[in-house]
Chain A
Amino acid sequence: MKCWRRRRTRGRVLESPGTRLKHEGLTALHPVVLVPGIVTGGLELWEGRPCSEGLFRKRLWGGSFAEIFKRPMCWLEHLSLHNETGLDPPGIRVRAVPGLVAADYFAPGYFVWAVLIENLAKIGYEGKNLHMAAYDWRLSFQNTEIRDQALSRLKSKIELMYVTNGYKKVVVVPHSMGVIYFLHFLKWVESPPPMGGGGGPGWCAKHIKAIMNIGPAFLGVPKAVSNIFSAESKEVAFIRAMAPSVLDSEILGLQTLEHLMRVSRTWDSTISLLPKGGETIWGNLDWSPEDGHGCDFVKKGQPSMSDNNLNSSNGRSCFQVKDPVKYGRMISFGKAASQLPSSQLPTHDSKEFLHTSASTNFNSSCGEVWTEYDEMSRESIRKISENKAYTARTLFDLLRSVAPKMMRRAENHFSHGISENLDDPKYAHYKYWSNPLETKLPDAPDMEIYCLYGVGIPTERAYVYKLAPSDKCKNIPFRIDSSADGDAGSGLKSGVYFVDGDESVPVLSAGFMCAKGWRGRTRFNPSGMATYIREYRHKRPASLLEGRGTESGAHVDIMGNVALIEDILRVAAGATGAEIGGDRIYSDIIRMSERINLRI
């Protein structure tokens, strides 16, 4: 079935990139390490409560998700982490599935890494030079080391592959959140032992040839904000995006979102995806780097996109909107607030509601599900909505007030600012390691960093919220105002402002570091390692038979993109970034980056 499908594509025999490159004479050279992203990795049960009997070493996450139907409450309980430590709750041990099976398929038939693995195998890769660095994606990055020694294991694995493959450096291929996980690893491995891995300052230079980031979420994703704030976004964030229909509201009864929020709020890793760099990167009330690029993607996404003429990249139907969309206002209450000039916005000190949030009418008997919202008073909720607009900076105050426990826990593990002075000794702490704006890249001038991502799909960037009608049980009090629709060119649709991206990560987040932050010798990249941007324009599958397409640019589907696979194979077989053609850009990332005023 699969090969038939591939053969029928566009009426001629289309060889898979692996076969084609094998005929060109490419063979496996550098060992390859795959680093999966959030939610795509499988989790299995090692110890559980009585309700989970018979599930020992069965997948709770990934696979068929059968248990979610059979015993939903039990399932939720086991996937939650401890509310205070962010580690295992007592009596429950859920661990990452190891090996290539961890993330080759997310669910039966829904590939993640499988296509790439198959193509790598065609040119000679196998278990000894191909490794999946599976980790528990619910934990904060440093906790994966504390609980599972995942970073130590990855270090030992890379060293081993380096030695057993004739002292060939590895090519690392992280995806989505795996990108910042690996960034964390780069710092960890060279730091001295109590906190780091003690590999010494030359470790990365010695062991790593290239890092090929796929769909990198370097500077975070706006989706994470709405996910944490109200457990919804265009499709209930990542989880729903990956497991469509699995998390439908019928399964868990009416309180799905609340349940979901409670579980996902125990996952520290979601915090790592909050937008980094504040207003400098993401824009303030009146300005944003994407200004003037409000594109009518809704029309563009249609089959008219199918011409893959490279020259047409500038001919996209981008409006030069007179009154630019204020993408900087990541959350605004009411459509009007998202468009007014900032002078007309009511100014409340965001600190104000932080202190009023002490619980006044906490009533846990109301509803089975308890979220931190129940602890908030009606008064503070009202104040939050009165403030009208939040930018990437004030957002954090907002989140701290609505989810104090989670943010307190998570801010020990992640930081979202921009560093003034990278030599400040405070940056030796691990919480800065996954933020590219607060760390220096390792001293490895021969290493290469690639940003590979899809473009041409509307991607969530800012939200219009409203207060939920107050019913007796105060559940999540905020909702995306799905009635807020803009006119054709404004990029606003059902309460969400869209920009160019790969459906999850906006171009800005994926491309900025490679386009500007690390380009050349900057303070973030002191050794001046080479960076390359490779964009892949999204093209829908021509027919249903093609499945998820071989030219997709969507966040996960891009792993089946033949052009991307070819690039990875060539680099793994020894090519450099210059040899595969250097940058390949369709979006406006260079112009956007130029508008960002960051000292580099």
Chain B
Amino acid sequence: MSFLRRRKATERPHAEPHDIDTETDDVHDKKKTKPRPKLRPKRWSCVDTCYWLIGCIFSAWWFLLFLFSAMPASFPQYVTEAITGPLPDPPGVKLKKEGLTAMHPVVFVPGIVTGGLELWEGHQCAEGLFRKRLWGGTFGELYKRPLCWAEHMSLDNETGLDPSGIRVRPVSGLVAADYFAPGYFVWAVLIANLARIGYEEKTMYMAAYDWRLSFQNTEVRDQTLSRIKSNIELLVATNGGNKVVVIPHSMGVLYFLHFMKWVEAPAPMGGGGGSDWCAKHIKAVMNIGAPFLGVPKAVAGLFSIEAKDIAVARAFAPGVLDKDVFGLQTLRHMMRMTRTWDSTMSMIPKGGDTIWGSLDWSPEGYFNCSAKRLKNNDINTADKNGNGSLESTKRVNYGRIISFGKDIAEIHSHEIERVDFRGAAKGNNLTNATKCDVWTEYQEMGIEGVKSVADYKVYTAGSILDLLRYVAPKLMARGDAHFSYGIADNLDDPKYDHYKYWSNPLETKLPNAPDMEIYTMYGVGVPTERAYVYKLTPAAECYIPFQIDTSAEGGSEGSCLKGGVFSVDGDETVPVLSSGFMCAKGWRGKTRFNPSGIRTYIREYDHAPPANLLEGRGTQSGAHVDIMGNFALIEDIIRVAAGATGEDLGGDRVYSDIFKWSEKINLQL
């Protein structure tokens, strides 16, 4: 480098005398030589320095890149093993040594937001994105053209189907949800382990669907349910009559519940499979992180697009949906987009006050949050019930899913003055809708409406529905046509033949399949959102008028209130109550929800955070998505897929208080 520069410097003295000579020549020559740039004095020249610098940087970069690609694939693992000692065998390898082989075909049903979506037809701004992933993958387009992206991800506000000129469709095949983003596995670990004992494409099937649509609309628009039915029939037929093991995750659990009703229902509305279809084709349904009775997070998501981590979407894509992407109006853009997604409404808490608690009572009433924190550190989970003693904790009113102000959340119910919001007039527009680029339904509510909502003070699971119907009438009108959140008094009522009840376990009977097994597998030991403290936003134009009051803190060490959110035991997204209740009580034995007495098993996995960074997301995690890499869970699944029954696995495996809480729930069975 230095050599070259020096040589240039020595050239200049030669050039200068030459120029002086030519000046004495005639005018033509002078004209020619005048614009010669070499006359310039020694100046700092970019050509010399910058290019050299850039060159060096690039060569170094290429060299590093070369080293990286030359690195053997097992290098990271080698480093990990050097630090932490040898890793345990992945469950697939271990069980293969035990002699397990592929037996029952496996069907995966991905949950909300984890499935990829790709573009099939778009507006001008989406040119070049044909069959590229809009959702999942790198989310590159989100940064490049955020508004275009949001436009294409939205559905029609009235029909809940495609807007005109836009077709966004689910990616199909195992690639649909094996990785959500590069390096962020969802199903990949499970698939890899199943492959070890002999599974492959012909014995595994990813039932990918468009998770933005309501469940019945996936059939109306894409015939997804028909495709799943046909694929399961094919799997059974081509694998020697072995029934399938279905593994739904998160919202996929509800989707598959819907499917089981759909497939046996007669043809115009259902799939016409006949009343023994499930008995003939399904061996077991192994629900992972099941939100059977909904999740409180969905309420915060719908109400103000925020929850501890901006509801469901942010929970899965941390960092991706940061506020800076859309500018300041992120949340409102997000809200407009997610409010067109009918599926979010399938996760609203079901069963009302009976399940989720009333103003003064809740099944989890005396849950001790500090016990949980202790447990995270030392894995000794032996006796948890002793920790949660009455004296050490203040009772938490979990039943009040939304309260305005921290004090309201804690005082006794007869001290609260409530003003019914339902009659309140909506007039008096908060602001001129045209002034804001982003339009949400809050603009139509007007200042009166907002105030009356806050005046009602406290909302339980039952009144939440009225609240949502008030603040988002269009959304709920669409949602009420596709989902129902109640409890059936009489399951034989012919009205329950309608598809809107099919995804609610409290309003449907399980199919008549006495040999089928239902597992619910979920993580415990992670604080999970259960109730919220809200406040009114300082009135700004064009803004969501409600906000979680992040200043509301519980105070003492053992308090469950933190940053405006009351938490209970769960898997970070779904509270134990929602994932466990149906298997612990609602379907246990022969009940009215389970007339044929399908056996149910609860398998809980205690959360243990990864020991160090190199472990990635851990092999003993209990978090909602990370649990898919939990070795114990994978082992359970592989054993069942290879032919074991729930008894062979060891029946129930419970760490939480789910049985105690279930007993407190007064539901006619």
Residues of chain A having any CB pair with chain B under 8 Å: 2-3, 46-47, 53-54, 56-57, 93, 95-96, 98-101, 104, 117-118, 121-122, 124, 126-128, 148-149, 152-153, 156, 159-160, 163-164
Contact = CB atoms under 8 A, between A and B. Distances in A.
Contacts of A47: 195-196, 198
Nearest to B74: A53
Nearest to A66: B69
Contacts of B383: none
B223 A128 contact: yes
A106 to B, nearest CB: 16
A148 B174 CA distance: 16
Nearest to B195: A46
Contacts of B480: none
A96 B202 CA distance: 10
A156 B230 contact: yes
Contact of B226 (A2, A3, A56, A160): A160
Nearest to A96: B201
Contact of B222 (A56, A121, A128, A163): A128
Contacts of B196: 47
B223 A98 contact: no
Given A3-B128, A57-B191, A127-B172, A148 B202 contact: yes
B121 A121 contact: yes
Contacts of B231: 156
B167 interface: yes
B230 A56 contact: no
Contacts of B238: 149, 152-153
B444 to A, nearest CB: 35
Given A99-B172, A156-B230, A127 B237 contact: no
A100 B175 CA distance: 12
B418 interface: no
Interface string B101-136: 000000000000000000011000001101100000
B37 to A, nearest CB: 35
Given A127-B120, A128-B222, 11 more contacts: A2-B128, A46-B200, A56-B195, A98-B173, A122-B121, A127-B170, A128-B223, A148-B202, A149-B238, A160-B227, A160-B230
B169 interface: yes
Nearest to B234: A156
Contacts, number: 77
Interface in B439-494: none
19 contacts: A47-B195, A47-B198, A57-B191, A57-B195, A99-B173, A101-B175, A104-B131, A121-B120, A124-B121, A127-B172, A127-B222, A128-B227, A148-B202, A152-B237, A153-B238, A156-B234, A156-B237, A160-B227, A160-B230
Contacts of A164: 223, 226-227
Given A95-B200, A153-B234, A159-B230, A126 B195 contact: no
Contacts of B515: none
Most chain B CB inside 10 Å of its own CB: which residue of A46, A148, A159: A46
Contacts of A101: 173, 175
A3 B178 CA distance: 32
Contacts of A118: 130-131
Contact of B73 (A53, A104, A117): A53
A163 B73 CA distance: 46
B19 interface: no
B425 interface: no
B233 interface: yes
A95 B174 CA distance: 13
B192 interface: yes
Given A95-B201, A99-B172, A56 B192 contact: yes
Interface in B205-239: 222-223, 226-227, 230-231, 233-234, 237-238
Contacts of B234: 152-153, 156
Interface of B: 73-74, 120-121, 127-128, 130-131, 167, 169-170, 172-175, 178, 191-192, 195-196, 198, 200-202, 222-223, 226-227, 230-231, 233-234, 237-238
A275 B475 CA distance: 64
- What's the dominant secondary structure at chain A's contact region? helix
Contacts of B202: 148-149, 153
A47 B203 CA distance: 14
B127 A3 contact: yes
Contacts of A156: 230-231, 233-234, 237
Nearest to B173: A99
Contact of B120 (A126, A148, A152): A126
A428 B546 CA distance: 74
Contacts of B200: 46, 93, 95
A570 B460 CA distance: 58
A127 B175 CA distance: 14
Contact of B167 (A54, A126, A159): A126
Contacts of B192: 56-57
Nearest to A1: B128
Contacts of B73: 53-54
A46 B194 CA distance: 10
Contacts of B120: 121, 126-127
Nearest to B233: A156
A117 B170 CA distance: 16
A271 B130 CA distance: 37
Most chain B CB inside 10 Å of its own CB: which residue of A118, A149, A159: A149
A100 B131 contact: yes
A303 B258 CA distance: 62
Contacts of A153: 202, 234, 238
6 closest residue pairs by CB, A with B:
A54-B73, A164-B223, A149-B238, A160-B230, A156-B234, A99-B173
A159 B196 CA distance: 32
B185 to A, nearest CB: 12
Nearest to A93: B200
A2 B195 CA distance: 39
Contacts of A122: 121
Contacts of B237: 152, 156
A98 B198 CA distance: 18
Contacts of A56: 192, 195
Most chain A CB inside 10 Å of its own CB: which residue of B173, B233, B237: B173
A117 B169 CA distance: 15
B97 to A, nearest CB: 15
Most chain B CB inside 10 Å of its own CB: which residue of A3, A54, A124, A164: A164
B420 to A, nearest CB: 47
Contacts of B198: 47
Contacts of A159: 230
A98 B230 contact: no
B271 to A, nearest CB: 11
B232 to A, nearest CB: 11
A433 to B, nearest CB: 20
Nearest to B70: A70
B201 A98 contact: yes
Most chain B CB inside 10 Å of its own CB: which residue of A99, A101, A127: A127
A199 to B, nearest CB: 13
B594 to A, nearest CB: 31
A163 B223 CA distance: 10
B119 to A, nearest CB: 9
B169 A126 contact: yes
Contacts of B169: 126-127
A101 B120 CA distance: 14
Contacts of A54: 73-74
B385 to A, nearest CB: 43
Contacts of B227: 128, 160, 164
Contacts of B175: 99, 101
A156 B237 CA distance: 10
Given A47-B195, A127-B170, A163 B130 contact: no
Contacts of A124: 121
Nearest to A165: B223
Contact of A117 (B121, B131, B201): B131
A71 to B, nearest CB: 10
Contacts of B222: 127-128
Most chain A CB inside 10 Å of its own CB: which residue of B120, B198, B222, B237: B120
